[in-house]
Structure 1
Amino acid sequence: MLRFSANLSLLLTEYAWLERFAAAKQQGFQAVEIQFPYHLPVKQLQNALQSNGLQLVLFNVDADNLLHGGEGLAAVPEKQAEFKQAVAQTAAYAELLQPVAINVLSGRCLDKNRLTTYLDTFKHNLRYATEVFAELGINTVFEAINSVDMPGFIVDSSQQMLEILTEINHPRLGLQYDIYHMTRMGENCLAFLQTHMDKITHIQFADCPGRGEPGTGDIDFANIFACIAQSTYKGWLGAEYNPTTDSHSSFNWLAAATQTSAAVL
């Protein structure tokens, strides 16, 4: 049966941060993920997870100014020391929170003449982070993000992800596959899932266009979820979308998705 996690950075934002955990549990989620948890003390997060019986699936290494139009940390040659500090911060949180995986965002390159250097730096930093988190028994993932919504993003295709994964070749490194982002890039997500599921550690989704909940765009989630349910994938599926109304109303897809996966099995 498919297992869904709620991304608390985008969902249930009607609630104060520490109240979102209980709200997710009440909606039927057994797990959550957070984009960047560092604004909250790690002990508070640990208590919120434990008191609600929730598993933390995923969070990201800090990406500096990425969400505000900047280049981020992981690929900027001049920011390698800052990236290592961010990895140390992430490791401190991970030791207590024990996520399934930690995501490293490659970030942007705003000067196309430096793209090769930025990509080399990202691969170097990704190797470093993977080794650090492997020592904690935690997987590392990276993802492709569409360069329509986020121009200049360094890794924006499935093919790039596969090439980087093959080059680094670490048993604790896998793909975070985002159905919304790859659909936005015009890729055939169903075909990729059917072919490369063994390389995927975590899946995220939102409908496209619009990045709303399933049923608000053009993606055939019935086939997508059925494909995943029939596969060997045992990870979580992260609901990472912007609700088109309120969060509670946006969860109408959840019961149908659960029934679909149960019927497949």
Structure 2
Amino acid sequence: MPKFAANISMLFTELPFIERFGAARAAGFDAVEFLFPYAFEPDQISARLERFDLQLVLHNMPPGDWAAGERGMACDPRRIGEFQDNVGLALDYAEELGVPQLHCLAGKLHAAVTMERAHETCVANLRFAAAQCQQRGIKLLIEPLNRFDAPGYFLTGTRQAAAIIAEVGAPNLFMQYDIYHMQRMEGNLADTLRAQLPLIGHIQLADVPGRHEPGTGEINFPFLFRHLDTLGYDGWVGCEYTPLGNTVDGLGWRPW
């Protein structure tokens, strides 16, 4: 059975963020992930991880102005210096928190930037980021998002992600495969997971439609969990969904 990590940016939101670590442990999770740690000092988070014996499996690099709709800047040639500074900040947090992998948000395509220029910029920025991560023994991830929830996002499919990974050529660059996003964009989940497994460093889940917990939509999660076992996937699966109601009440889908 896959290993599941609670995404506490989306789960246990009945509580303040810093209290969600304890709630995740009480609900039976051994690991957590979240979007961003930067509103807190690293020691505030590390103390919670230690207190509740939780592993932190993932967080994102800074996204820019999230509230204004920004979703990263790796594809923006106007913000290369800012991107490189953010890589350093993310790595400082990752090292202090013991997180083994970072997700780099590709960003939205700016109206003044061609797709070709955005691609060149993204590849160059990922080479820089991957090299910095490699020096600290950290994996770097890129994730395709669906264009319905993230209109204008640069990276929207597994083939595009695989092509970028091949072009960057870094041994520590992998794909973050989100079942929810890719069901909306591509479908064909089982075959895609099989084909792309060597490139997949992390998986996330939510059901379709609505991005709620497994069992609320069209995806056959019991089959997919067995499929991941058959494929030999031994990484974490992040539970990145919005509960229909109270988080704990919605955990009946879990296979343990």
Verify same fold: TM over 0.5. Answer: yes
Question: 1:161 touches 1:175 (CA, 8 Å); kept in 2?
Answer: yes
Identify if the C-alpha distance between structure 1 residues 68 and 188 changes in structure 2 by more than 3 Å, giving closer, same or farther.
farther
Partner Cα distance (1:206, 1:131) in 2: 31
The alpha-carbon deviation at position 63 of structure 1 amounts to 0.9
What is the aligned partner in structure 2 of residue 134 from structure 1? 134
Corresponding residue SS for 2:58: strand
What is the aligned partner in structure 1 of residue 51 from structure 2? 51
Q: Deviations over 1:164-206 (max 9, x none)?
A: 1111121111110000000011331111112221211100010
The alpha-carbon deviation at position 151 of structure 1 amounts to 1.0
Corresponding residue SS for 1:89: helix
The alpha-carbon deviation at position 158 of structure 1 amounts to 0.9
What is the aligned partner in structure 2 of residue 31 from structure 1? 31
The alpha-carbon deviation at position 69 of structure 1 amounts to 2.4
Give the aligned residue type for 1:10: M
What is the aligned partner in structure 2 of residue 184 from structure 1? 184
Give the aligned residue type for 1:227: H
TM-score normalized by the length of structure 2: 0.96
Partner Cα distance (1:188, 1:249) in 2: 30
TM alignment of 1:162-201, pairs within 5 A: 162-201=162-201
What is the aligned partner in structure 2 of residue 14 from structure 1? 14
Give the aligned residue type for 1:119: H
Q: Deviations over 1:214-244 (max 9, x none)?
A: 0111011111111001122110000000011
Corresponding residue SS for 2:13: coil
Partner Cα distance (1:149, 1:186) in 2: 14
Matched, 1:237 2:237: yes
TM alignment of 1:75-224, pairs within 5 A: 75-111=75-111, 114-224=114-224
Partner Cα distance (1:196, 1:238) in 2: 18
The alpha-carbon deviation at position 123 of structure 1 amounts to 1.2
Partner Cα distance (2:13, 2:230) in 1: 33
Identity of aligned residues (%): 37
What is the aligned partner in structure 1 of residue 68 from structure 2? 68
Partner Cα distance (1:2, 1:101) in 2: 18
Q: Deviations over 1:77-121 (max 9, x none)?
A: 111111111111111101111112100010111327522111211
Q: What 5-or-longer segments of structure 1 have no aligned partner?
A: 259-265
Partner Cα distance (1:156, 1:248) in 2: 32
Q: What 5-or-longer segments of structure 2 have no aligned partner?
A: none
Corresponding residue SS for 2:114: helix
Identify if the C-alpha distance between structure 1 residues 107 and 250 changes in structure 2 by more than 3 Å, giving closer, same or farther.
same
What is the aligned partner in structure 2 of residue 228 from structure 1? 228
Partner Cα distance (1:102, 1:67) in 2: 21
The alpha-carbon deviation at position 133 of structure 1 amounts to 1.1
Identify if the C-alpha distance between structure 1 residues 166 and 140 changes in structure 2 by more than 3 Å, giving closer, same or farther.
same
Give the aligned residue type for 2:109: C
Question: 1:203 touches 1:236 (CA, 8 Å); kept in 2?
Answer: yes
TM-score normalized by the length of structure 1: 0.93
Q: Deviations over 1:122-173 (max 9, x none)?
A: 1111111111111111111101000111111111011101111111121111
Partner Cα distance (1:209, 1:89) in 2: 35
Partner Cα distance (1:60, 1:188) in 2: 27
Partner Cα distance (2:71, 2:29) in 1: 33
Partner Cα distance (1:122, 1:68) in 2: 21
